[in-house]
Amino acid sequence: MRQFTKDDLARIKLPGRAIQKAVGLESFSKSVEMTVGFATYSKEYGPMEPHHHAEEVVYVLDAKDAWVEFGIERNELTNRSPLRPGDVLHFAELEWHVFKYGDAGYLDIIFIYGRVNNIRPEEITIESEN
Does residue 30 belong to any structural domain of this protein?
yes
Task: Tell me which DSSP letter residue 124 carries.
Answer: -
The percent of residues above 90 in pLDDT, for the chain, comes to 78
Domain residues for the domain of 91 are: 6-129
Q: What pLDDT, in 10s, does the model give residues 57-116? A: 999 999 999 999 999 999 999 999 999 999 999 999 889 999 999 999 999 999 999 877
* Bridge partners for 126 per DSSP: none
Number of domains forming the structure of the chain: 1
What's the CATH code of the domain at 124?
Answer: 2.60.120.10
Does residue 38 belong to any structural domain of this protein?
yes
Closest to 111 measured CA to CA, from 1, 2, 14: 14
Considering only CA atoms, give the Rg of the chain.
15
- Give the Cα separation of 70 and 94 in Å (integer): 11
Cβ pair 97, 57 in contact under 8 A: no
Question: pTM value?
Answer: 0.87
Does residue 1 belong to any structural domain of this protein?
no
Q: Going by DSSP bridges, is the β-strand pair 29-30/56-71 parallel, antiparallel, or unpaired? A: unpaired
Provide the pLDDT for residue 54. Answer: 85
Does residue 103 belong to any structural domain of this protein?
yes
